């Protein structure tokens, strides 16, 4: 009589432990999903919302993106001056396969020092870009997305290099956002100096 009760009790304990471990895994997957959603939102809004996303250390750039955004090609090859002061920009977005958000007008300080461009926001956040051609600067960093298997619901984190390219124009600048090895931007933001707006 004691053996069946002991066996049932052992099975009940194993079942309880299994449920607890499974719920812990579910909590970790939910937390990872929330972190991914936050990271993706910060990626698309970092240059328009004034937020300061956490960044992993930037990798060495493997190739330069082709400036294929229609509006990017309008900049001249001559050097365009930036003031180094806070300037108000009107922001518009072009969606090329990902969600581009716009947070209205923004105050931004573009500061060029040698071959570096510093994109400074009013909250103290600063992004450093490196010159890749006249009036064009690039910033690389690591990002990721979550790949979900529709059959099993299993989620897999996929790391990828991401980079932003700023092209300075006579009326402001254009910021293109690239994912992985894509040669065209996933998202483009056009910043127009409010003082230059008719």
pLDDT digits (tens, 9 = 90+) for 38-83: 444 444 454 444 433 333 333 333 334 333 333 333 334 445 556 5
Residue 14 lies in a domain: no
Q: Taking a C-beta distance cutoff of 8 angstroms, is the pair 80, 72 a contact?
A: no
Residue 194 CB neighbour total at 10 angstroms:
14
User: What's the total number of domains in the chain?
Assistant: 1
Residue 7 lies in a domain: no
Residue 138 lies in a domain: yes
The yes-or-no verdict on residue 182 having pLDDT over 60 is yes
Joined tokens for residue 87: 């300037």
Residue 152 lies in a domain: yes
The yes-or-no verdict on residue 118 having pLDDT over 90 is yes
pLDDT band at 100 (very low <50, low <70, confident <90, very high): confident
The yes-or-no verdict on residue 136 having pLDDT over 80 is yes
Task: Look at residue 176 and give its three-state secondary structure.
Answer: strand
Domain enclosing residue 97, as ranges: 42-196
Residue 1 lies in a domain: no
pTM value is 0.57
Residue 96 lies in a domain: yes
Residue 157 lies in a domain: yes
Residue 143 lies in a domain: yes
């Amino acid at each position: 009589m004691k053996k069946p009760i002991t066996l049932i009790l052992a099975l009940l304990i194993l079942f309880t432990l299994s449920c607890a471990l499974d719920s812990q895994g579910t909590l970790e997957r939910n937390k990872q999903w929330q972190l991914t959603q936050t990271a993706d939102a910060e990626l698309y809004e970092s240059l328009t919302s004034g937020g300061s996303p956490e960044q992993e250390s930037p990798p060495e750039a493997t190739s330069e993106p082709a400036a294929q955004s229609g509006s990017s090609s309008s900049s001249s090859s001559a050097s365009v001056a930036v003031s180094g002061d806070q300037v108000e920009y009107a922001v518009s977005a072009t969606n090329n396969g990902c969600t581009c958000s716009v947070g209205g007008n923004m105050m931004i300080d573009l500061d060029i020092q040698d071959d570096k461009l510093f994109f400074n926001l009013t909250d103290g956040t600063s992004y450093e870009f490196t010159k890749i051609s006249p009036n064009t600067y690039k910033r690389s960093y690591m990002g990721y997305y979550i790949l979900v298997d529709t059959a099993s619901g299993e989620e897999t984190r996929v790391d990828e290099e991401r980079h932003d390219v700023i092209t300075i124009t006579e009326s402001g600048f254009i910021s293109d956002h690239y994912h992985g090895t894509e040669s065209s931007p996933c998202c483009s933001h056009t910043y127009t100096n409010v003082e230059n707006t008719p």
